[in-house]
Structure 1
Amino acid sequence: MGFNHAQQVEILNQNLNDLEGKVNVSFEFFPPNSPEMEQTLWQSIQRLEGLQPKFVSVTYGANNSTRERTHRIINKIQNETSLTPVPHLTCIGASQEELVDIAQNYWDSGIRHIVALRGDLPEQTQTQPNMYALDLVKLLKSVADFEISVAAYPEVHPEAPNSQFDLINLKRKVDAGASRAISQFFFDTETYLRYRDRCLASGIEVEIVPGILPVTNFKQLLKFSSMTNVTVPQWMHRLYQGLDDDPMTRNLIAANVAIEQVKVLAKEGVRDFHFYTLNRSDLTYAICHSLGVRERSLVPQAIAV
């Protein structure tokens, strides 16, 4: 599947009003590690709450390092906002008994949706993990009828031997009970569309929700992309060249790139998008507003920070 220049221009020039009411969003946050970042997180949650996302997820951190903070944030979102909180859960560094207890506690507290991941391996480890995301999906389904999201990798998981192995692994997770897959971020829309086609051809019929990352720190992106097997196109290098000391222009470019991604994908029938917010609300809010995801009035709820 490809776009010629005329098609690309037509898509990017379509009226943004055409998307109003047709785009659903979800947001990802991570547990803060300082009082200042905690305040930023809750300010961001409050700002984005009015957009009424389908859900908001909270990451677990490498090697379960933020487990307790994740639980605390999930509980606070559950009790003090109108949002649907979705915790990430990983199986690295936890026994099956611990995972069952965590899952049961979530279910008992009203959590019905979990993002199931293997998790990052400890640095310099030589041992293979005894559980993978597939095993975690099965475990969660044995505890209760959770809605489960799993990860998908349009450019192949860094540890997968090849793309077919990666695709078979995703199908196994779906067959075990996963409700949807959320993709690693990407910047070439054709990469995602080809991947979606391959998923369908392999019998994977759940939604592959594209992960959207607005890039405000290009140097940080290059470092992270080298670890996650994500391609950064040359046109992005050109866009961000010479902007190390110009955050305002970087933000404008980040918003424009993200909006164009969503517009092209929406033209191809994609309706749900997952935004990696990095705990910052302003840019994500502006992008969503431009895409027709408008704020709706809510009953005010105070969040203690």
Structure 2
Amino acid sequence: MKISDILQHTKRSVSFEFFPPKTPEGEDSLFRTIKDLEFIKPTFVSVTYGAGGSTRERTIRIVKKIHTETKLTVMAHQTCIGHTKNEIVDILKEYRNIGVQNVLALRGDIPEGQKESFVFPPDGCRYANELVSLIRENFGDWFSIGVAAYPEGHPESPDLDTDIFYFKKKVDAGAEFAITQMFFDNRYFYNFVEKVQKVGIDIPIIPGIMPVTNFKQIKKFADMCGATIPKELIEKIQPVADRPEEVEKIGIEYAVKQCEDLLKHGVKGLHFYTLNKSKATIQIYNQIKDLI
């Protein structure tokens, strides 16, 4: 089922993001996590795609397995910077052939250590809006296409207005909904939504939530994507930084308050970056479910 159709008929969406594990043990653990989370009846789940196409086969396998072995609606992340257009079309044909109808169209990250030397394929897409256009040109309305949104602006963008200009290009090319990069201060999200509405963007924008369960790890992610970690959260975590259970407790409490505020402001849904684990997500959901 198409996510765009589901969003039209759902008051609020709850969804989860997973990444393709590197080992059979990791894959077994992922599907235990999926089983743990199924009781929530998520609107959809998504599977990420590694930098430069590095997880191509693993992503395709996990997407197929979720689609064929569970009742969940699955969305495949698809990046473009490491592929020719023909390669992208071939990947998406695989999904179409088994009935997967949802894709998150992304430019993708340049692989670590290749920022200066990376060469884009001559017959490829350099930007996500080009990827959205490619999907529409080759598959019509078969796929429901989502894209990324950056409440604080893309780290490579000079300012938020410039980033919104390029975000609109993705929407004009045929994107039907967006999922934001993680953020920890809701004011950035509200400001972003207000600005995109002023330029005529009215697709559903789903906030991405990353519970802080490992401060060092989250700080690394935040540095990569340009997300601001509020001073109040840092001050709460620093004194207990060497006590993982305390860090997790504080992180979950903060995420609950963040989600409560978003829901009270009428967001269309919440997309949880699970890091292939269920504990934090379940604890947060159980505390906010009456608002959903």
TM-score normalized with structure 2 length: 0.90
**Which residue of structure 2 aligns with residue 28 of structure 1?**
17
Give the deviation of 1:180 after TM superposition. Answer: 0.6
Structure 2 regions of 5+ residues with no counterpart?
Answer: 1-9
Cα offsets for 1:141-160 (capped at 9, x unmatched): 12221101100001110111
Aligned to 2:210: 213
User: 1: distance between equivalents of 2:68 and 2:284?
Assistant: 28
* Whole-Å separation in 2 of the counterparts to 1:50 and 1:143: 36
Return the offset for 1:120: 1.0
Instruction: Report the Cα distance in structure 2 between the residues aligned to 1:242 and 1:203, rounded to whole angstroms.
Output: 45
Query: What is residue 235 of structure 1 aligned with on the other side?
Result: 232
Counterparts of 2:35 and 2:211, CA distance in 1: 20
Look up the match of 1:48: 37
Q: Which residue of 2 aligns with 1:282?
A: 279
8 Å CA contact retained: 1:243, 1:249: yes
Equivalenced residue count is 274
Which stretches of structure 1, 4 residues or longer, exceed 6 Å deviation after superposition? none
Deviation at 1:94, TM superposition (A): 0.7
Moved more, 263-272 or 246-255: 246-255
Q: Distance in 2 between matches of 1:36 and 1:43?
A: 11
- Per-residue Cα deviation, 1:162-201 (whole angstroms, up to 9, x for no partner): 2111101111111111011110111111111011100101
Residue 34 of structure 1 and its aligned partner are, at CA, apart by 2.2
214 and 177 in structure 1: CA distance in 2 versus 1, 3 angstrom threshold: same
> Counterpart in 1 of 2:91?
102
Please give the alpha-carbon distance, in whole angstroms, between the structure 2 residues aligned to 1:223 and 1:76.
Answer: 30
Aligned AA (1:147)? S
**Structure 1: 5+ residue stretches without partners:** 1-20, 295-305
CA distance in 2: counterparts of 1:290 and 1:82, whole angstroms: 25
Letter in 2 for 1:140: I
Identity of aligned residues (%): 46
Contact residue 180 and residue 207 of structure 2 kept, 8 A = yes
The structural deviation recorded for 1:49 is 1.4
Map residues 4-153 of structure 1 onto 2, 5 A cutoff.
23-122=12-111, 123-126=114-117, 129=120, 130-144=125-139, 145=141, 146-153=143-150
**Aligned 8 A contact 2:30 2:277 in 1:** yes
Q: Which residue of 1 aligns with 2:264?
A: 267
Q: Is the 8 A contact 2:210 2:273 kept in 1?
A: yes
Higher mean C-alpha deviation, range 268-277 or range 223-232 = 223-232
> How far, CA to CA, are the matches of 1:152 and 1:128 in structure 2?
25
Per-residue deviation at 1:282?
1.1
Cα distance in structure 1, aligned partners of 2:275 and 2:158: 30
User: Is the counterpart of residue 170 in structure 1 residue 161 in structure 2?
Assistant: no
| Distance (Å, rounded) in 2 between the aligned partners of 1:266 and 1:22 | 11
Letter in 2 for 1:248: E
Distance 2:230 2:279 in 1: 25
Equivalent position SS for 1:251:
helix
Post-superposition offset of 1:102: 1.2
Q: Is residue 185–residue 210 contact of structure 1 (8 Å, CA) maintained in 2?
A: yes
Q: Aligned partners of 2:161 and 2:241: how far apart in 1?
A: 39
Structure 1: distance between partners of 2:92 and 2:138: 7
What is the CA–CA distance in structure 2 between the aligned matches of 1:25 and 1:196, rounded to whole Å? Answer: 19
How far apart are the structure 2 equivalents of 1:35 and 1:127?
A: 31
The change in CA–CA distance for 1:44 and 1:127 in structure 2 (over 3 A counts) is: closer
Task: Decide whether the 8 Å contact of 2:18 with 2:45 is kept in 1.
Answer: yes
Shift in Å, 1:231 = 0.8
Matched-pair contact (CA < 8 Å) for 2:110–2:118: no
Alpha-carbon distance, 1:108 to partner? 1.6
C-alpha contact 1:116 1:136 (8 A) present in aligned 2: yes
By relative contact order (CA 8 Å, sep 6+), the higher-ranking structure is 1
Tell which structure's C-alpha radius of gyration is larger. 1
Question: Cα offset for 1:39?
Answer: 2.0
- Cα shift at 1:293: 6.9
Q: Give the corresponding residue for 1:154.
A: 151
